[in-house]
Amino acid sequence: MEYRIGKRFSFDAAHHLDGLPAGHKCARVHGHTYTVEVVFAADRLDEPGFVTDFGDLAPFGAYLDEYFDHRDLNDVLDVPPTSELLAAHLAHWIIGNLEPLVQGRLESVRVSESPTSWAEFTPAGRAQ
């Protein structure tokens, strides 16, 4: 048996993508209201019956606010600022900085640039 929880965060940021065909709209600087959804899982629940207390995920929200909100992602990331690579970056941050402090393990990170599209990263060995 496995339990899962998810929490959504959001931030606003700009970016542009290099290496696209001439005239591609994503080559121009533009912005999104990003939604980031994290999923944590556990085989057993901690007291009083949590995978992870949602409040314990606050440091991740603070990280997004400090380093990503109202920023140019091209200046923040060391990789092209695609949703796929942003999801991977955020997953690695959670694994290194937040996961050791909370009950449960990160299953996936999903990043949406719009209400109709998303990219998801699942760390190796954690397939759903």
Q: Rounded distance, CA 52 to CA 88, Å? A: 21
Strand order in the sheet with 71-72: 71-72, 3-15, 30-42, 105-114, 117-121
37 an active-site residue?
A: no
Q: Does the active-site annotation cover 99?
A: no
Given the residues 24, 26, 30, 66, the one annotated as active site:
26
Q: Which residues pair with 62 in a beta bridge?
A: none
| 46/96 Cα distance (integer angstroms) | 21
Q: Residues 29-55: what's their mean pLDDT?
A: 95
31 pLDDT higher than 70: yes
If you search the block for the tokens 């990003």, which residue do you land on? 34
Mean local confidence (pLDDT), 14-19: 90
pTM for the full predicted model: 0.93
Percent pLDDT > 70 in the chain is 98
Catalytic annotation present for 26: yes
- Annotated active-site residue in 15, 89, 107, 113: 113
pLDDT digit string (tens) for 81-121? 999 999 999 999 999 999 999 999 999 999 999 999 999 99
Structural domains of the chain, with CATH: 3-17+30-121 (3.30.479.10)
Q: Which residue, 38, 46, 57, 41, is CA-closest to 109?
A: 38
CB-CB contact of 87 with 105 (8 Å): no
When pLDDT is cut at 50, 70 and 90, the band that residue 127 belongs to is: low
Strands (E), 20-126: 30-42, 71-72, 105-114, 117-121
| Active-site residue (options: 2, 30, 66, 70) | 70
- The pLDDT value recorded for residue 128 is 55
Say which amino acid occupies 18: D
Strand partners, 8: 37
